Amino acid sequence: MIPTVDFETKCYENDWEIVLGRGYLRTVVDRCAHDFSRRRLIINNVKARGPVEEAAKSAIARGDLDEYLFTEDHAAAALEFFQIEKSSFGRGYRYSISELD
């Protein structure tokens, strides 16, 4: 049977080094005991994109991840799709926007 469920998790400034560190993603996925069609990481609210992107590319090279995306690259399209104003989130925008990606 072809897998039809994606694995998805998120990281942000205070945990990206843990999430993208050796072994973490593989352990989490393995504990799910499911054959996922894709393994995706959504990266939100990081100060320096470069090091995080390099770590994500390394996770892909190790086979721990299939793809990653940065919330900031998709936020405008998500807000438009759901017809939501950024201001409607108030102070919670930076925490909530990744849920729409």
Evaluated on CA atoms 27, 32, 37, 42, the torsion sign reads: negative
Task: Supply the pLDDT for residue 13.
Answer: 95
Tens-digit pLDDT profile for residues 69-91: 999 999 999 999 999 999 999 99
> Closest by alpha carbon to 65, among 16, 101, 29?
29
> Closest by alpha carbon to 89, among 68, 99, 11?
99
Task: Supply the pLDDT for residue 8.
Answer: 97
Tens-digit pLDDT profile for residues 2-53: 889 999 999 999 999 999 998 999 999 999 999 999 999 999 999 999 999 9
Q: How far apart are CA 4 and CA 86, in angstroms?
A: 32
Task: Supply the pLDDT for residue 97.
Answer: 83
Torsion of CA 91, 69, 37, 58, to 10 degrees: -130
